[in-house]
Amino acid sequence: MAVTLQPATTKTTKTSRDANAASAAAKIKSAQDIDKYLKMCLYARNKVGKTVFACSSKMKTLVIDFNEHGYDSVQHRPNVDIYEAARWDDIDPIFWHLRGGKHDYKVLVLDTCTMMAAVGMKWVLKDDYDRDMSRDPLTPARQSYLKLGEMLSDAFIKFRNLPMHVIFCCQEKTSTEEDEEGNTLMETHPELSPKPRSVLLSATNLNARMYVAEAELQGKKVMERRLLLGPRPKYVSGGRFPQLKAIERLKPEPYPNLQNILDRIYGEPNASQG
User: Amino acid identity, residue 38?
Assistant: L
What's this model's pTM, rounded to 2 decimal places?
0.85
pLDDT digits (tens, 9 = 90+) for 25-50: 988 887 766 678 999 999 999 989 99
Residue 83, pLDDT above cutoff 80? yes
What residues form DSSP beta bridges with 210?
227
In this structure, are residues 158 and 196 in contact, taking their beta carbons and an 8 Å threshold?
no
Residue 79, pLDDT above cutoff 50? yes
| Cα 11 from chain centroid (whole Å) | 46
In this prediction, residue 76 carries a pLDDT of 87
pLDDT digits (tens, 9 = 90+) for 96-142: 999 999 999 999 999 999 999 999 999 999 877 777 676 766 677 78
Omega of the bond leading into 112 within 30 degrees of 0 (cis): yes
Position 56 confidence tier, pLDDT thresholds 50, 70, 90: very high
In this structure, are residues 125 and 151 in contact, taking their beta carbons and an 8 Å threshold?
no
In this prediction, residue 4 carries a pLDDT of 58
DSSP notation for the chain: ---PPPPPPHHHHHHHHHHHHHHHHHT---GGGS----EEEEEESTTSSHHHHHT-SSS-EEEEESS---GGGGTT-TTEEEEE--SGGGHHHHHHHHHHT-S---EEEEE-HHHHHHHHHHHHHHHHHHH-TTS-TTS--HHHHHHHHHHHHHHHHHHHTSSSEEEEEEEEEEEEEE-TTS-EEEEEEESS-HHHHHHHHHH-SEEEEEEEEEEEETTEEEEEEEEE-S-BTTB--EES-TTS-SEEEE-SSS---HHHHHHHHH-SS-TTT-
pLDDT digits (tens, 9 = 90+) for 159-214: 999 999 999 999 999 998 776 677 788 899 999 999 999 999 999 999 999 999 88
Domains and CATH numbers, the chain: 36-208 (3.40.50.300)
In this prediction, residue 271 carries a pLDDT of 42
In this structure, are residues 264 and 243 in contact, taking their beta carbons and an 8 Å threshold?
yes
Residue 254 burial by CB count (10 A; 0-12/13-18/19+): exposed, middle or buried? exposed
Share of the chain above pLDDT 90, in %: 55
Work out the angle at residue 170's Cα, subtended by the Cα atoms of residues 151 and 139, and round it to the nearest 5 degrees. Answer: 50
User: Amino acid identity, residue 250?
Assistant: L
What mean pLDDT do residues 141-166 have? 94
